[in-house]
Amino acid sequence: MALTEALIPELCQKIRQKTSVQFGEHEIELMGPYRRISYLGSLKDHFTLSEQDLFDEAKLIECLKGAKIPIPPKRAGKPYFADLQNALFEETIEKGLIQPTFVTGYPKAISPLARSSKDNPEIT
């Protein structure tokens, strides 16, 4: 993460002579440090969920309905709770991320090819 925080603003400075870029109505500042959030932690905080609720399909569907987010269809070979979590994350948390942010702890079910965390093989 430190390497990314160093390289991106330096590259932007060399190309644009400043460390920010305009994206729509937003001025994105690329000079670090970047915000860091936990994927599951952000869902837990936003929807006031417990650790167990994060993996409870009925509770996740209740959150989706409450937020008026379409419920994704079940897909073979992938845990359904992961699709439900991802729908919640993409439609609520991710849409609010404007400035550079590192999102850590993605569930392995969502990013199966990413390197697993050394502390928890179920997340990246």
pTM: 0.86
pLDDT tens-place string over residues 46-83:
999 999 999 999 999 999 999 999 999 998 877 899 99
Asked whether residue 13 falls in the same domain as residue 50, the answer is no
Asked whether residue 20 falls in the same domain as residue 54, the answer is no
User: Could you report how far apart the first and last alpha carbons of the chain are, in Å?
Assistant: 14
pLDDT tens-place string over residues 22-36:
999 999 999 989 999
**Cα 56 to Cα 63: distance, rounded to the nearest angstrom:** 11
Asked whether residue 23 falls in the same domain as residue 45, the answer is no
Q: Are 96 and 74 in contact (CB under 8 A)?
A: no
Q: Are 19 and 9 in contact (CB under 8 A)?
A: yes
- % pLDDT > 70, the chain: 100
Q: If pLDDT is split at 50, 70 and 90, which confidence band does 124 have?
A: confident
Q: What is the pLDDT of residue 102?
A: 96
Asked whether residue 18 falls in the same domain as residue 46, the answer is no
Given a cut of 90, is residue 88 above it in pLDDT?
yes
Asked whether residue 60 falls in the same domain as residue 111, the answer is yes
Three-class DSSP category at 63:
helix
Given a cut of 90, is residue 109 above it in pLDDT?
no
Asked whether residue 90 falls in the same domain as residue 116, the answer is yes
Asked whether residue 76 falls in the same domain as residue 113, the answer is yes
Given a cut of 90, is residue 18 above it in pLDDT?
yes
Domain range for 22 is: 1-33
